[in-house]
Amino acid sequence: AQSVTQPDIHITVSEGASLELRCNYSYGATPYLFWYVQSPGQGLQLLLKYFSGDTLVQGIKGFEAEFKRSQSSFNLRKPSVHWSDAAEYFCAVAGNRDDKIIFGKGTRLHILP
Amino acid sequence: DVKVTQSSRYLVKRTGEKVFLECVQDMDHENMFWYRQDPGLGLRLIYFSYDVKMKEKGDIPEGYSVSREKKERFSLILESASTNQTSMYLCASRTYPANYGYTFGSGTRLTVV
């Protein structure tokens, strides 16, 4: 069965520092991978997705993620965080493009001024 | 931009009431989904629908039903609300074939007292 693990429930970084949020997935074949962000009181917004091709994908708001098949990981990165990046981030996986998406439990990002 | 609109942001209902949560999308998407979101548990899939009049159970369908009479509207029904159904409910839609992930509504925070 597909599953997604986000090992960090909370992460705190200083504004301007770099960020990496970890995501590990469990799936037999090449999965379809997503990162979503949820600002307080809002729904989820798609940051980026990986379906195939280049393993480094660029997303909105300056985020990127790298698919590493050997490590079953899809970590999210940003070189310099802004206070507005404080939110909850969800990694997600699907077995194919049209399959329903399985979400991780989320990582809440806190930004120190 | 695709819009997914959930009719209520906040809702307070009494135990035993029948509750309707409405979700409307304006981009002719085939697929629609209902999730509930609880702290520490992430998003859990309640029901989904791949087309009009179609519905399939997700991971936690007990105590819920759905209705999809028109393509743009997907309703979640709590037949007899209970306090353990107090949660944030998120609706999402997706086109088919899916070139993108889900588009989410802003959520309905339901409190059952």
Query: SS3 for chain B, per residue?
Result: CCCEEECCCEEEECCCCCEEECEEECCCCCEEEEEEEECCCEEEEEEEECCCCCCEECCCCCCEEEEEEECCEEEEEECCCCHHHCEEEEEEEECCCCCCCCEECCCEEEEEC
Judge: B99–A97 Cβ closer than 8 Å, yes or no: yes
Rounded distance, CA A26 to CA A14, Å? 31
Q: Tokens for B66?
A: 């759905």
pLDDT at B78: 97
Contact assessment for residue B19 and residue A67, using Cβ atoms and an 8 Å cutoff? no
Report the share of chain B in percent with pLDDT over 70: 96
Contact assessment for residue B25 and residue B104, using Cβ atoms and an 8 Å cutoff? no
Distance between the two ends of chain A, CA-based, in angstroms? 41
Which of B102, B103, B108, B109 to mutate to probe the A interface, most A CBs <10 Å?
B102
Buried b (16+ CB within 10 A) or exposed e, B19-56: bebbbbbeeebbbbbbbbbeeeebbebbbbbbeeeebe
Average of per-residue pLDDT across B83-107: 89
Identify all chain A residues contacting B43, using CB atoms and an 8 Å cutoff: 44, 90, 103
Which helix (H) or strand (E) segment holds residue A108: the answer is strand A107-112
Report the sign of the C-alpha dihedral through residues A92, A94, A98, A100, in that order.
Answer: negative
Query: Average per-residue pLDDT in chain B?
Result: 93
Query: Average per-residue pLDDT in chain A?
Result: 92
pLDDT at B21: 97
Would you list which residues of chain B are within 8 Å, Cβ to Cβ, of chain A? 4, 31, 33, 35, 40-43, 45, 48, 58, 90, 92, 96-107
pLDDT at A7: 96
Judge: B101–A92 Cβ closer than 8 Å, yes or no: yes
Judge: A42–B48 Cβ closer than 8 Å, yes or no: no
Average of per-residue pLDDT across B6-16: 95
* Closest-CA residue of chain A to B94: A98
Rounded distance, CA B89 to CA B36, Å? 4
Which helix (H) or strand (E) segment holds residue A68: the answer is strand A64-68
Q: Which of B13, B20, B17, B15 is nearest to B73 (CA)?
A: B20
CB-closest option in B42, B103, B107 to A103: B42
Q: Any chain B CB within 8 A of the CB of A54?
A: no
pLDDT tens for A24-64 read 998 867 788 999 999 988 889 999 999 888 899 999 999 99
pLDDT tens for A62-75 read 999 999 999 999 99
pLDDT at A100: 83
pLDDT band at B2 (very low <50, low <70, confident <90, very high): low
Rounded distance, CA B104 to CA B3, Å? 8
Q: Any chain B CB within 8 A of the CB of A44?
A: yes
pLDDT tens for A88-101 read 999 999 887 778 88
Which of B1, B9, B37 to mutate to probe the A interface, most A CBs <10 Å?
B37
User: Is the confidence at residue B96, as pLDDT, over 90?
Assistant: no
pLDDT at B1: 66
